[in-house]
């Protein structure tokens, strides 16, 4: 009999009060009372005023979020009726609360969920509310609406007209945003692929630089990700603020998924945080990997996408972590490899090669098996990246014969135009390396595909014969030393461009800048450089390297040192990546 005499106002007040009392998710929840109130909502919906509809749906969503309460489909349908009927009467906060509730309960995911006309009515009502009285549409309403659209984009679909209106309100009321509201807002725009305009992005930047050192970890991660998705560079000051803030957050804030997401965003901006920050990232991740590997109580095994994103980011940033990190990373990859998708396997393998890290035969064999599993679904780029990675890591043993045959078959069945020019360059370099170093029979490329990949390689080699100021400096030093040479030399087979070649001696001098070395290990070369070195040496070249970022005086002394003794006692041969 409970509720028999409750009018709609009392029903909505009761739902709102219960949601407020149980907002912290305590153990006790009066389910029988809530079921009766839900029944009364269905029966009395036609008598509700706008505030009552908003309070009820917000209350049920709050209880759903904390206690798992779910509405019956016919209740959802009645809420839809009330929203459409009263759309023009809702206040701005009521509108945003309804949208938040729809997203929180994922109402269109239920059988008999809200029809599209409900969101159309809400969208139109918000546009009219902003146009007629923008002062009453608060920054909190903006943030709630965009949060909802970001969390449930298939449920809360906002029109471009409303998105533009929300961007305008955001600019006008930017000073009233909390950090959470601001970051939720830009995150919501990014989730929906809608750029809010340069004015708002500039305001976001200024707030980020000014107050970013106080942001909590989710705010930092959201704003980083949003700027990346919206293809807007935040600037070095903003990125530095994030790196510095990562030093003061607690260990509990910085779990592997969060660190992977943040490093992924840093990589998109090609920004390497400072040494102290990277040391902490390595330490936290390695400890988490080791804990998961031995099954410590409370440990969480990192998700495969977090692992692949993290190592991919290190590769893009040319950051080579410590052997201790790699040992822990390799162990957790080995134990979770069955969870990786094709992109994850490709990213891990490709980055191992770029970072010149061989994880050992056991893990390489397991990765080879996963590549075989995915060979039919790899995108052309995945085919090129993984086969190239194999020859960098160990071209004598990998890929194994069976996998090599699968690669050759897959490549032969792929249209030439489906491979980008970079893909074809990688494939041809891999083909050369396998012919030269592999212990196995079989060829990667043949026929027209071989000719196409070779043309791409030759075009890249011939097209990069450019002479820089540092090349001229080294050339002038050689001339003063009386050493005959040619600058930007293309080898007779057309396969390699050489910065400086000594006439008649088949000795190449590569004048390399920082891009050929790890950002944190300036004298250690990346995997691509080592593969090129091996290929040139296999063709009889002796390759010497000098760093272009050292002073001319250093280069002069280095060259005297190099040529004052026979080649056999010269520096260890190294080479730059193919250009």
HSE-CB at 212 with a 13 A cutoff on CA atoms is 25
Residue 546 φ/ψ, nearest 5 degrees: -130, 145
| Alpha helix positions (H), 322-394 | 323-336, 342-354, 361-374, 380-394
Pairing of the two strands 485-490 and 497-502: antiparallel
What confidence score (pLDDT) does residue 472 get?
81
Q: Which residue has the tokens 């590569």?
A: 510
Residues of the chain with pLDDT under 70: 1-5, 23-28, 65-68, 108-113, 462-466, 546-579
Separation of alpha carbons 418 and 400, rounded Å = 25
Q: Which residues, 6 or more positions from 142, have their beta carbon under 8 angstroms from its beta carbon?
A: 96, 166, 169, 170, 173, 181, 185
Separation of alpha carbons 324 and 313, rounded Å = 18
Assign 575 to helix, strand or coil. coil
What confidence score (pLDDT) does residue 172 get?
95
Separation of alpha carbons 437 and 380, rounded Å = 24
Q: Which residue has the tokens 């040479």?
A: 485
Separation of alpha carbons 164 and 161, rounded Å = 5
Q: Which of 328, 332, 404, 394 is nearest to 371 (CA)?
A: 404
Cα 383-340-350 angle, rounded to 5 deg: 40
Q: Which residues, 6 or more positions from 559, have their beta carbon under 8 angstroms from its beta carbon?
A: 474, 477, 478, 481, 546
What's the predicted TM-score (pTM) here? 0.86
Q: Encode 471-493: b = buried (16+ Cβ within 10 Å), e = exposed.
A: beebbebbeeeebebebbbbbee
What confidence score (pLDDT) does residue 575 get?
33
DSSP structure class, residue 87: G
What confidence score (pLDDT) does residue 109 get?
53
Q: Can you read off the two tokens belonging to residue 517?
A: 């070395």
State the DSSP string of 68-117.
-----HHHHHHHHHHHHHHGGG--HHHHHHHHHHHHHHTGGGSTT---HH
> In a 10 Å sphere around its CB, with 0-12 CB exposed, 13-18 middle and 19+ buried, how is residue 186 labelled?
buried
Separation of alpha carbons 123 and 166, rounded Å = 11
Q: Encode 139-161: b = buried (16+ Cβ within 10 Å), e = exposed.
A: bbbbbbbbbbbbbbeebbebeee
HSE-CB at 409 with a 13 A cutoff on CA atoms is 9
Assign 486 to helix, strand or coil. strand
Separation of alpha carbons 482 and 478, rounded Å = 6
Residue 510 φ/ψ, nearest 5 degrees: -100, 125
The residues pairing with 65 across neighbouring beta strands, listed in sequence order, are none
What confidence score (pLDDT) does residue 435 get?
92
The residues pairing with 511 across neighbouring beta strands, listed in sequence order, are 546
Q: Can you read off the two tokens belonging to residue 475?
A: 């050339």
Q: What CA dihedral angle connects 569, 572, 575 and 576, to 10 degrees? A: -130
Residue 523 φ/ψ, nearest 5 degrees: -110, 5
Separation of alpha carbons 163 and 146, rounded Å = 9
């Amino acid at each position: 009999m409970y509720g028999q005499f409750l009018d709609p106002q009392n029903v909505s007040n009761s739902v709102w009060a219960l949601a407020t009392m149980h907002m912290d998710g305590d153990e006790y929840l009066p389910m029988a009372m809530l079921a009766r109130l839900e029944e009364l909502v269905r029966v009395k919906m036609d008598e509700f005023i706008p505030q009552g509809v908003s309070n009820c749906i917000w209350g049920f969503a709050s209880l759903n979020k904390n206690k798992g309460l779910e509405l019956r489909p016919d209740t959802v349908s009645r809420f839809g009726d009330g929203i459409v009927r009263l759309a023009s009467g809702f206040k701005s906060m009521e509108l945003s609360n309804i949208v938040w509730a729809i997203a929180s309960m994922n109402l269109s995911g239920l059988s008999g969920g809200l029809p599209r006309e409900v969101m159309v009515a809400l969208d139109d009502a918000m546009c009219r509310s902003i146009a007629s009285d923008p002062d009453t549409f608060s920054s909190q309403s903006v943030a709630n609406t965009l949060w909802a659209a970001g969390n449930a984009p298939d449920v809360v679909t906002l029109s471009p007209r409303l998105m533009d209106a929300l961007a305008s309100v955001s600019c006008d009321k930017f000073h009233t945003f909390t950090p959470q509201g601001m970051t939720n807002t830009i995150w919501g725009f990014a989730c929906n692929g809608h750029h809010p305009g340069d004015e708002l992005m500039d305001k976001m930047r200024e707030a980020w630089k000014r107050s970013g050192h106080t942001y909590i970890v989710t705010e930092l991660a959201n704003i980083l990700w949003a700027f990346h998705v919206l293809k807007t560079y935040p600037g070095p000051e903003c990125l530095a603020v994030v790196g510095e803030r990562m030093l003061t957050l607690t260990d509990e804030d910085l779990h592997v998924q969060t660190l992977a997401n943040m490093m992924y965003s840093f990589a998109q901006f090609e920004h390497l945080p400072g040494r102290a920050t990277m040391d902490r990232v390595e330490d936290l991740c390695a400890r988490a990997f080791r804990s998961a590997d031995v099954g410590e109580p409370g440990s969480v095994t990192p998700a495969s996408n977090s692992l692949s994103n993290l190592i991919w980011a290190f590769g893009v940033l040319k950051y080579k972590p410590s052997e201790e990190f790699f040992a822990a990373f390799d162990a957790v990859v080995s134990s979770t490899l069955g969870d990786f998708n094709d992109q994850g396997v490709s990213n891990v393998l490709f980055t191992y090669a770029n970072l010149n890290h061989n994880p050992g035969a056991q893990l390489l064999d397991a990765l080879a098996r996963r590549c075989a599993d995915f060979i039919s679904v790899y995108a052309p780029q995945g085919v090129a990246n993984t086969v190239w990675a194999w020859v960098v890591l160990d071209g004598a043993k990998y890929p194994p014969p069976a996998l090599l045959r699968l690669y050759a078959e897959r490549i032969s069945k792929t249209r030439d135009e489906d491979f980008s020019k970079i893909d074809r360059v990688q494939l041809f370099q891999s083909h050369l390396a396998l012919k030269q170093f592999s212990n196995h029979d079989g060829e990667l490329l043949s026929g027209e595909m071989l000719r196409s990949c070779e043309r791409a390689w030759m075009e890249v080699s011939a097209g990069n014969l450019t002479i820089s100021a540092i090349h001229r400096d080294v050339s002038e030093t050689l001339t003063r030393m009386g050493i005959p040479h040619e600058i930007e030399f293309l080898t007779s087979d057309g396969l390699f461009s050489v910065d400086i070649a000594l006439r008649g001696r088949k000795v190449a001098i590569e004048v390399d800048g920082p891009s050929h070395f790890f950002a944190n290990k300036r004298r250690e070369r990346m995997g691509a450089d080592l593969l090129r070195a091996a290929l040139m040496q296999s063709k009889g070249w002796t390759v010497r390297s000098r760093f272009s970022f050292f002073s001319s005086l250093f280069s002069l002394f280095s060259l005297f040192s190099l040529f004052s003794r026979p080649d056999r006692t010269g520096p260890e041969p190294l080479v730059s990546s193919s250009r």
